[in-house]
Copies of this chain bind each other. A is one copy, B any other.
Amino acid sequence: MRNLTRAEVKNASLSQLKKMCDDLREEIFRTVSACGGHLSSNLGAVELTVALHRVFDFPRDKVVFDVGHQCYTHKLLSGRATLFHTLRKEGGISGFPKREESEYDCYGTGHAGTAISAALGLAKARDLKGEDGEVIAVVGDGSFNNGLIYEALNSLKILDTRILIILNDNGMSISPTVGGTHEILEEMKGEAVPSEDVKLFERFGLTYMGVCNGNDLEELLPELDRAKEILKTKSVLLHVVTRKGQGYAFSENAPAETHGMSPHPSVKQEYSHALGEELIALAEKDARVVAVTAAMTDSLGLRPFFEKFPSRAFDVGICEEHASVLCAALAAGGMRPYYAVYSTFLQRSFDEIVHDICGQNLPVTFCIDRAGITGEDGETHQGVFDLSFLAPIPEITVAIPKDIGEFRAMLRASLDCRGPLVIRYPRAGTEGEVNPLEMGTFEVLHSTMSDIAVLAAGERCLCLARELLKKAENEGFSFTLVNARFLKPLDSMLLASLKQKYIVTLEDNVLIGGLGDAIARFYREDGRIVRSFGYADAFIPHGESSALAKKYGLDGERVFETLREFYARG
């Protein structure tokens, strides 16, 4: 698709605009089919974004997209159409708004609920500098459950500035939106006359406008004009209803499945599938087992559990903090909660993990999916910090299965764990055997008399280690290979018993504060050489995950050079 000029959008007739929407939708569909990405959320927001570009003047005006998974049309309309085929590829266009990519991306997003706070900050900065320009936050109804949104609404009057909030209501988070706010919004949509609930928004200092069909330019454009007029003196919330996946029948009918799409469906097994199976088995034998998710029932593999045990399964919406406290209290009340969440979103629960769960040593099990480099979603979605931020927390057990079989074994052992447990794993892997294990024990996978031991954690690193072992043996040397499957507690007995002088650690996490640091701390002052491989101290952008892993620190050749060097030193 060619780059459209601002004038083309500004001067187009209505029918030309509609044609433009068709073209954009086609371009999005074609590109996501080739590159993967967020399909249904972007298809739903085409008309809305075209209307914003028609009515406002970017980049003088600014738009913050909450989560950011609906920004493709904005990118296509702001000089990035000719590059759009590079979407999510290394060095190409990011799937999320990114300040360094374009001046049209005024604020980067990826996690839910930040847009209103961000819009307020940008608007306040504008006011203080005496500048012009409007600031718009586009927020999905799923994010409207998030506490951050409420904190931002609460401060509208305090900050005394003007923003336009567009509530893009498609009734979906990744899973269907849930909760009290959702019910209020649903009711507002059903009423001809604005309901009493409108007052809720007005109390916070917003003029409420809506409900308006966000996929219909004829309805949307005049409403946006009106909103812009009111915005001269007051903050506005414009409630638009869009259809996730609009214009693409399969996506309209299966918005959750087409929310995020991979370019090449994995031939590997998914850990999430095993999670669903194992949790059902645990729940069948232990009535204390309950499952909690923050709007990701499907992508975490919990759908079968929710169907089998509806009264013991809770989707609380995009509320990661609440989910964690809820789990803490369920555990305090005698239950055994399993909270499944992506590594990057676990960051939202950091304080609750410290304060509520570990601080009270409660038996909550975290199932952390998408740990390590996740690839195409980029900086905001890599799961490379979890080992580091979990390691300093007292009372926690942190497990890193080497394959799905071991993941199953860890889940089966989890009921015997009397305190907080985290199991972190990538999206996909190989099945492997299910061997019973004891918490806090490492596993020797290959034992030699060589002076080198490789301690690796997680499937990516153990695969790499096994490759290197083969390569070493081809070159005539070998090393002891240990599955360092617990960051915490470390298997101090095994570590103490290792005779090797050279220790190499491998982890799918940033180096700072991770497994390598923990093992090096154990071996301080004992004369061993510990060299660690993991990710550099940098935000890792989007790209293919193996290539990124190699580039940012898990480079087989570099590791092998170290092994060879240690072998030569003897």
* A residues whose Cβ falls under 8 Å from a Cβ of B: 64, 99, 106-108, 110-111, 114, 117-126, 128-129, 145-159, 178-184, 196-197, 199-200, 203-205, 287, 290, 311-312, 314-317, 319, 321-322, 325-335, 345, 347-348, 350-352, 354-356, 358-360, 379-380, 385, 388-389, 391-395, 510-514, 517-518, 520-521, 524-525, 529-531, 537-539
Contact = CB atoms under 8 A, between A and B. Distances in A.
B117 A325 contact: yes
Contact of A325 (B148, B182, B317, B350): B148
A84 B379 CA distance: 51
A108 B521 CA distance: 32
Contacts of A184: 203
B321 A148 contact: yes
Contact of A114 (B199, B350, B352): B352
A180 B196 contact: no
A34 B310 CA distance: 53
A502 to B, nearest CB: 10
A282 to B, nearest CB: 15
Contacts of A525: 529-531
A437 to B, nearest CB: 23
Contacts of A199: 196-197
Given A117-B326, A180-B157, A99 B146 contact: no
Nearest to A330: B121
> Assembly of this chain: how many copies?
2
Contacts of A327: 121
Given A151-B147, A322-B117, A333 B538 contact: no
A306 B34 CA distance: 54
A121 B513 contact: no
Contact of A128 (B128, B311, B315): B311
A327 B122 CA distance: 9
Contact of A147 (B126, B150, B333, B537): B150
A118 B359 CA distance: 14
Looking at A149, A311, A393, A394, the one whose CB has the most chain B CB atoms below 10 A away is A394
Contacts of A333: 121-126, 129
A351 B352 contact: no
10 tightest A-B CB contacts, nearest first: A147-B147, A121-B329, A125-B333, A151-B322, A388-B392, A117-B325, A151-B319, A347-B351, A350-B350, A150-B150
A115 B323 CA distance: 13
Contacts of A290: 128
Nearest to A311: B128
A542 to B, nearest CB: 13
Nearest to A187: B203
Contacts of A150: 147, 150-151
A130 to B, nearest CB: 10
A529 B347 CA distance: 34
B118 A325 contact: yes
A287 B127 CA distance: 12
A109 to B, nearest CB: 8
B183 A203 contact: yes
B332 A121 contact: yes
A117 B331 CA distance: 12
A449 to B, nearest CB: 23
Contacts of A156: 180
Given A126-B333, A128-B312, 9 more contacts: A121-B328, A122-B330, A128-B287, A129-B334, A148-B321, A154-B180, A158-B314, A347-B351, A392-B514
Contacts of A125: 329-330, 332-335
